[in-house]
Amino acid sequence: MPYVPDFGPVLRMWDTLLLSLRYTLLLAVLTIVFGCIIGLFIALLRLSKVRVLRFLAALYINFFRGIPQIVYLVWLYFGLAMAFGTRFQPIPAAVICLSSQYAGYLAEIFRSGIEAIGRGQTEAAVAMGLTTAQTFRFIVFPQALRIVIPPIGNMWVGAIKDSSLVSLLGVMELMRTAQVQATNTWRPFEFYTATAIIYVSLVWLSSKGIALVERRMQHA
Protein backbone atom coordinates (compact mmCIF):
# COMPACT_ATOMS: atom_id res chain seq x y z
CA MET A 1 0.00 0.00 0.00
CA PRO A 2 1.57 3.29 -1.03
CA TYR A 3 2.35 5.91 1.57
CA VAL A 4 0.00 8.87 1.63
CA PRO A 5 1.69 11.99 2.99
CA ASP A 6 -0.37 13.77 5.57
CA PHE A 7 0.82 17.18 6.63
CA GLY A 8 -1.95 17.56 9.18
CA PRO A 9 0.23 16.82 12.19
CA VAL A 10 2.83 19.27 10.89
CA LEU A 11 0.28 22.04 10.56
CA ARG A 12 -1.09 21.33 14.01
CA MET A 13 2.39 21.63 15.52
CA TRP A 14 3.40 24.53 13.29
CA ASP A 15 3.65 27.08 16.08
CA THR A 16 5.72 24.70 18.19
CA LEU A 17 8.11 24.30 15.29
CA LEU A 18 8.37 28.02 14.68
CA LEU A 19 8.78 28.72 18.39
CA SER A 20 11.78 26.38 18.51
CA LEU A 21 13.46 28.74 16.07
CA ARG A 22 14.27 31.03 18.98
CA TYR A 23 16.91 28.51 20.05
CA THR A 24 18.16 28.14 16.50
CA LEU A 25 18.54 31.89 16.15
CA LEU A 26 19.97 32.30 19.64
CA LEU A 27 22.63 29.72 18.90
CA ALA A 28 23.44 31.24 15.52
CA VAL A 29 23.69 34.77 16.91
CA LEU A 30 25.90 33.77 19.83
CA THR A 31 28.06 31.67 17.54
CA ILE A 32 28.70 34.56 15.18
CA VAL A 33 29.16 37.18 17.90
CA PHE A 34 31.63 35.19 19.96
CA GLY A 35 33.15 33.70 16.84
CA CYS A 36 33.87 37.19 15.51
CA ILE A 37 35.39 38.35 18.79
CA ILE A 38 37.65 35.31 19.10
CA GLY A 39 38.25 35.24 15.36
CA LEU A 40 39.40 38.84 15.21
CA PHE A 41 41.79 38.15 18.05
CA ILE A 42 43.18 35.08 16.31
CA ALA A 43 43.47 37.01 13.04
CA LEU A 44 45.53 39.69 14.75
CA LEU A 45 47.74 36.98 16.23
CA ARG A 46 48.11 35.49 12.78
CA LEU A 47 49.34 38.82 11.46
CA SER A 48 51.59 39.45 14.40
CA LYS A 49 55.31 40.15 14.04
CA VAL A 50 56.02 37.50 16.63
CA ARG A 51 56.62 34.17 14.92
CA VAL A 52 55.40 32.02 17.79
CA LEU A 53 52.07 33.83 17.91
CA ARG A 54 51.67 33.49 14.16
CA PHE A 55 52.36 29.78 14.38
CA LEU A 56 49.96 29.22 17.28
CA ALA A 57 47.23 31.12 15.50
CA ALA A 58 47.76 29.08 12.33
CA LEU A 59 47.62 25.92 14.42
CA TYR A 60 44.34 27.01 15.96
CA ILE A 61 42.82 27.81 12.56
CA ASN A 62 43.88 24.58 10.88
CA PHE A 63 42.82 22.50 13.86
CA PHE A 64 39.30 23.87 14.06
CA ARG A 65 38.80 23.77 10.32
CA GLY A 66 39.87 20.13 10.30
CA ILE A 67 37.45 18.59 12.76
CA PRO A 68 33.82 17.88 12.01
CA GLN A 69 31.41 19.79 14.21
CA ILE A 70 29.69 16.72 15.50
CA VAL A 71 32.95 15.21 16.74
CA TYR A 72 33.92 18.42 18.53
CA LEU A 73 30.46 18.83 20.08
CA VAL A 74 30.34 15.30 21.41
CA TRP A 75 33.97 15.43 22.53
CA LEU A 76 33.33 18.60 24.52
CA TYR A 77 29.96 17.73 26.00
CA PHE A 78 30.61 14.09 26.86
CA GLY A 79 34.35 13.58 26.71
CA LEU A 80 35.78 16.70 28.27
CA ALA A 81 33.00 16.79 30.85
CA MET A 82 33.87 13.30 32.04
CA ALA A 83 37.60 13.98 32.04
CA PHE A 84 37.29 17.06 34.19
CA GLY A 85 34.33 15.98 36.24
CA THR A 86 32.24 18.94 35.17
CA ARG A 87 28.74 18.91 33.82
CA PHE A 88 28.19 21.23 30.88
CA GLN A 89 24.85 22.81 30.26
CA PRO A 90 23.87 22.03 26.67
CA ILE A 91 23.48 25.56 25.35
CA PRO A 92 26.72 26.99 26.80
CA ALA A 93 28.56 23.89 25.60
CA ALA A 94 27.08 24.32 22.14
CA VAL A 95 28.02 28.00 22.03
CA ILE A 96 31.57 27.33 23.22
CA CYS A 97 31.92 24.63 20.63
CA LEU A 98 30.40 26.39 17.64
CA SER A 99 31.94 29.79 18.31
CA SER A 100 35.44 28.43 18.83
CA GLN A 101 35.17 26.55 15.58
CA TYR A 102 33.69 29.48 13.67
CA ALA A 103 36.44 31.65 15.11
CA GLY A 104 38.83 29.58 13.01
CA TYR A 105 36.98 30.38 9.79
CA LEU A 106 36.33 33.98 10.77
CA ALA A 107 39.99 34.50 11.59
CA GLU A 108 40.87 33.68 8.00
CA ILE A 109 38.14 35.98 6.74
CA PHE A 110 39.35 38.86 8.91
CA ARG A 111 42.93 38.20 7.95
CA SER A 112 42.27 38.42 4.22
CA GLY A 113 40.14 41.48 4.81
CA ILE A 114 42.89 43.22 6.74
CA GLU A 115 45.57 42.19 4.27
CA ALA A 116 43.45 43.49 1.41
CA ILE A 117 43.87 47.02 2.67
CA GLY A 118 46.89 48.26 0.80
CA ARG A 119 50.15 48.81 2.59
CA GLY A 120 50.09 52.32 1.26
CA GLN A 121 47.31 53.14 3.67
CA THR A 122 49.26 51.85 6.62
CA GLU A 123 52.41 53.69 5.54
CA ALA A 124 50.50 56.93 5.00
CA ALA A 125 48.98 56.63 8.44
CA VAL A 126 52.37 56.07 10.06
CA ALA A 127 53.75 59.03 8.10
CA MET A 128 50.95 61.12 9.56
CA GLY A 129 51.98 60.13 13.04
CA LEU A 130 49.35 57.56 13.94
CA THR A 131 50.35 54.69 16.18
CA THR A 132 49.87 51.11 15.04
CA ALA A 133 46.77 50.77 17.17
CA GLN A 134 45.32 54.02 15.87
CA THR A 135 46.08 53.03 12.29
CA PHE A 136 44.25 49.81 12.76
CA ARG A 137 41.30 51.32 14.52
CA PHE A 138 40.66 54.29 12.24
CA ILE A 139 42.10 53.32 8.86
CA VAL A 140 42.37 49.58 8.37
CA PHE A 141 39.44 48.22 10.31
CA PRO A 142 36.62 50.36 8.83
CA GLN A 143 37.67 49.50 5.29
CA ALA A 144 38.29 45.84 6.07
CA LEU A 145 34.81 45.65 7.58
CA ARG A 146 33.22 46.37 4.22
CA ILE A 147 35.18 43.57 2.63
CA VAL A 148 34.38 40.98 5.24
CA ILE A 149 30.64 41.56 5.59
CA PRO A 150 29.67 39.19 2.71
CA PRO A 151 31.82 36.27 3.90
CA ILE A 152 30.55 36.79 7.45
CA GLY A 153 27.08 36.65 5.98
CA ASN A 154 27.95 33.22 4.61
CA MET A 155 29.18 32.22 8.05
CA TRP A 156 25.85 33.29 9.48
CA VAL A 157 24.11 30.98 7.05
CA GLY A 158 26.46 28.19 8.09
CA ALA A 159 25.73 28.90 11.76
CA ILE A 160 22.00 28.51 11.18
CA LYS A 161 22.56 25.17 9.48
CA ASP A 162 25.07 23.95 12.06
CA SER A 163 22.70 24.77 14.91
CA SER A 164 20.80 21.67 13.81
CA LEU A 165 23.64 19.55 15.20
CA VAL A 166 23.04 20.89 18.66
CA SER A 167 19.93 18.72 18.69
CA LEU A 168 22.25 15.91 19.75
CA LEU A 169 22.80 17.65 23.07
CA GLY A 170 19.08 17.83 23.69
CA VAL A 171 18.55 21.51 23.00
CA MET A 172 15.02 21.95 21.70
CA GLU A 173 15.88 23.91 18.60
CA LEU A 174 14.16 23.26 15.31
CA MET A 175 15.75 19.93 14.41
CA ARG A 176 15.22 18.37 17.82
CA THR A 177 11.64 19.60 18.01
CA ALA A 178 10.94 18.17 14.59
CA GLN A 179 12.60 14.89 15.57
CA VAL A 180 10.45 14.57 18.67
CA GLN A 181 7.29 15.38 16.76
CA ALA A 182 8.19 13.05 13.90
CA THR A 183 8.72 10.20 16.32
CA ASN A 184 5.52 10.89 18.24
CA THR A 185 3.31 11.14 15.19
CA TRP A 186 5.06 8.56 12.98
CA ARG A 187 5.31 11.22 10.28
CA PRO A 188 9.03 11.61 9.60
CA PHE A 189 8.63 12.47 5.94
CA GLU A 190 6.25 15.33 6.60
CA PHE A 191 8.13 16.77 9.54
CA TYR A 192 11.59 16.55 8.05
CA THR A 193 10.35 18.01 4.78
CA ALA A 194 8.85 20.91 6.71
CA THR A 195 12.06 21.30 8.71
CA ALA A 196 14.18 21.39 5.56
CA ILE A 197 11.84 23.99 4.07
CA ILE A 198 12.05 26.16 7.17
CA TYR A 199 15.84 26.05 7.18
CA VAL A 200 16.01 26.82 3.47
CA SER A 201 13.64 29.75 3.98
CA LEU A 202 15.77 31.10 6.83
CA VAL A 203 18.86 30.78 4.67
CA TRP A 204 17.13 32.45 1.76
CA LEU A 205 15.92 35.34 3.92
CA SER A 206 19.39 35.75 5.40
CA SER A 207 20.96 35.84 1.94
CA LYS A 208 18.53 38.51 0.84
CA GLY A 209 19.25 40.49 4.00
CA ILE A 210 22.99 40.28 3.44
CA ALA A 211 22.61 41.38 -0.18
CA LEU A 212 20.63 44.36 1.08
CA VAL A 213 23.35 45.26 3.56
CA GLU A 214 25.96 44.93 0.82
CA ARG A 215 24.06 47.26 -1.46
CA ARG A 216 23.60 49.87 1.23
CA MET A 217 27.30 49.76 1.99
CA GLN A 218 28.06 50.72 -1.60
CA HIS A 219 26.47 54.07 -1.06
CA ALA A 220 28.06 54.78 2.31
Partner 1 sequence: MGYEFDWKVVLDNMDEFVLAVRMTLVLSTVAMLAALALGLIFALMRLSKSRLLRMPAGAYINFFQGAPQFVLIFWVYYGLAMLLGVNFRPFTAGVISLSAQYGGFLAEIFRSGIQAIDRGQREAATAMGLTAGQSTRYIILPQAIRIVLPSIGNNWIGMIKDSSLVSVIGLMEIMRTAYLNANDYFRPFEFYTLAALLYIGLTFVFYYGNQALERKLKVG
Applying CB under 8 A, the residues found at the interface with partner 1 are 2-3, 5, 62-63, 65-72, 74-75, 78-80, 82-85, 157, 161-162, 164-165, 167-168, 175, 178-179, 182, 188-193, 195-196, 199-204
Q: What angle, rounded to 10 degrees, do the helices at 51-66 and 90-116 form?
A: 130
| Closer Cβ to partner 1, 29 or 74, answer by number | 74
Q: CB 2 → partner 1: shortest distance, Å?
A: 7
As measured in angstroms, the least distance from the Cβ of 166 to partner 1 is 10
Cα radius of gyration (the chain): 21
Minimum CB–partner distance for residue 129 and partner 1 (Å): 41
Alpha-helical segments (H) within 132-187: 132-135, 141-162, 174-185
The distance of closest approach from Cβ of residue 214 to partner 1 in the complex, given in angstroms and rounded to an integer, is: 18
How far is it, in rounded angstroms, from Cα 133 to Cα 31? Answer: 27
Q: Which amino acid is at 55?
A: F
Q: How many residues does the chain have?
A: 220
| Contact yes or no for 151/24 (Cβ under 8 A) | no
